[in-house]
Chain A
Amino acid sequence: GESVGLHLPTLSVQEGDNSIINCAYSNSASDYFIWYKQESGKGPQFIIDIRSNMDKRQGQRVTVLLNKTVKHLSLQIAATQPGDSAVYFCAERGNSGYSTLTFGKGTMLLVSP
């Protein structure tokens, strides 16, 4: 289930389950979104991106869904593996000039064997 830890919301799942990580973004003008995976002591790793003219995009074992009406982004991981354990961040980018990425708070995913 999902719970709020001391620092990060945490999602605990069993190996083989499907995981869904949610993100509420803030800027209705954002036109580009990215999901990153960050393992302890490492830099964020690009997982998948989606532009605002799409509502779904699939990668290998991952799917990103975008609902612009409610400014909601989700990352679905199929057949979750222990190696998927990490902190996941969503990031949004505005649509003007050299717009920068704004990162969400992050969700820790814990996968039990």
Chain B
Amino acid sequence: EAEVAQSPRYKITEKSQAVAFWCDPISGHATLYWYRQILGQGPELLVQFQDESVVDDSQLPKDRFSAERLKGVDSTLKIQPAELGDSAMYLCASSLETGGQYFGPGTRLTVT
């Protein structure tokens, strides 16, 4: 069964350092999402791509976060510099244009 792949699964970094997460969506899924999830809460959307274009980044803290999906397939989310409050689970999901979103296993980020 096709799955969304994410790496790394866990990341520990010091504040002010740069960190990057990678996501490979389900083959054929044109829409890709990055979410942040704080423990005990539901995921919150950071950015949504349709193919290689950003269609919603209204909740992305653009002073320190960036995301790209250059060829419309895999994607990278970067944080620079990381802050203590960025500690969370970062989830990637993908979908066909209509239908449900399928999530990857996530990257657990700890900023010390």
Contacts and interface: CB of A to CB of B under 8 A. Distances in A.
Interface in B35-53: 39-45, 48, 50
Contacts of B101: 34, 46, 101
A103 B50 contact: no
B100 interface: yes
B42 A104 contact: yes
Q: How large is the interface on B (under 10, 10 to 19, 20 to 34, 35 or more residues)?
A: 20 to 34
Nearest to B92: A43
How would you classify the secondary structure of chain A's contact residues: helix, strand, loop or mixed?
loop
Contacts of A105: 41-42
Contact of B33 (A34, A46, A89, A100): A100
Contacts, number: 51
A91 B106 CA distance: 18
Contact of A42 (B44, B50, B106): B106
Interface string A77-101: 0000000000001010000011011
Contacts of A101: 45, 101
Given A98-B50, A98-B56, A100-B56, A43 B45 contact: no
Nearest to B98: A32
8 contacts: A34-B100, A36-B103, A43-B6, A43-B104, A43-B105, A45-B103, A100-B45, A103-B44
